[in-house]
Structure 1
Amino acid sequence: MLTVDFDKLGVGVGSSLIDVGCGAGRHSFEAFRRGADVVAFDQDVAELDNVDAILQAMQAQGEAPASAKAEAVKGDALDLPYDDGTFDFVVASEILEHVPEDERAIDELIRVLKPGGRMAVTVPRWLPEKVCWMLSDEYHANEGGHIRIYRADELLEKVAGRGMRFDHRHHAHALHSPFWWLKCAVGVDKPDNPIVTAYHRMLVWDMMARPWLTRNAESLLNPLIGKSVALYFEKSADPKSPAV
């Protein structure tokens, strides 16, 4: 289940990409399939071990071009261990809402991006997230949980104000918003609730089968209740030129 639109981002064979806060690796896997040299970057060793195993299996089974390389790297998003301008693409999906020093993290994401490079940042959308917070403290008030709710324009200004040109935005995963509202309403610690279980089965079926009905329904609902907002930026090739 991808939040970033890789066609819009423009990732292809021979490009370099870092997926900061890669989690279970969904965006790293897609970039690798498309032939990019990928760094799956996270601080969770257990997650990274799984991501690394899948990347190696993809390579062994020929699911990525032979020229592509991939590695899983543990580290801190506030101090990326790479030189300025290392990557053609930077992805940071659903991580900034967890980071107390979000502006410092944004600075690092931009620093390692090459001039002319492109970046995709996604966060939970304000309205669906606000409903979750209203329904349940447990949803966000936990170690490593969400510490802020972004308005898209607020995040856009934080990134664009650092010399990045804003290009595009879209919303994603509208069918997931009601699922989280249900979980929050009945209790996030009650995964066996029959309504939550039934809705989860529907989401799994939707992701596996991708039927016309739910795909079109989600496309129509995304502008209204999409669970995530994705913002796309380009780094100026001229560091002296102003952001647009």
Structure 2
Amino acid sequence: MSETPAFPLAPAPFAGDSREVDAGACFDWLHQGWAMFLANPGIWIGASILLLVILMAISIVPLFGQIAAHLLIPVFGAGMVQICKRLADGGQPEISDLFAGFRHNAGQLVMVGLFFALAVFSIAFLAFLLVSGGILGGTVTGRVAGFGIAFGGVMLAGLLVLMLSIPVIMATWYAPFLVFLHDMAPLDAMKASFAAGYKNWLAMVIFGIFLVVALFFAMLPLGLGMVLLLPVFSGAVYASYRDIFVGV
């Protein structure tokens, strides 16, 4: 005889279902990101400066600092998500919200960071092997032919980095949202993030182009533009998460 289920029934866990949106939606995401920044620029600027200082301080340590920074990116990313969520819910965010990821699902967020770090360093290592192999082959072969071999190695390395970076970015783009806000397991969150990116590849490509261009200009005045870029794109990514994922 089957047991009578207890009431009220527990809600089904969030599965990370996503939908396809129009490619032009990315412009609305950027508009929402700017509006979210204007809602409380003081908190955003303070949190962004604090985040940049922390990451720079960590990265000063050779090798281990770089690894630690990559591991903590999803954790701090969850803090930016928390600021976005408070603003979207009509609440009052605090700079301390930047550390919300350390208080909730920190271990799972670090696992996302671990995957990201391993992928990034593996891609960099493969690129180094291709470039160094091309330069060595060019040195042995001679001047004209050697330059062609070396240049070919650099181009191949760049193409490999680009091709391998795309699935890594897709898998980790929304993973901090899903782990932090919905308690999804890291692997499930990365699968759902990849699926969402795959469904909306055109919108994400356009969004990514805007990010790269904005990043270039943000870095020109001694990187000071990052203080504005971080909040606006954090808000835009949050808007895209609300637009793409079903039931959030």
User: Counting helix residues as a fraction of each chain, which structure ranks higher?
Assistant: 2
For the pair shown, the structure with the greater C-alpha radius of gyration is 2
Please give the range of the TM-score, normalised by the shorter of the 2 chains.
Answer: under 0.3
User: Counting strand residues as a fraction of each chain, which structure ranks higher?
Assistant: 1
TM-score, length-scaled by structure 1: 0.23
TM-score, length-scaled by structure 2: 0.23
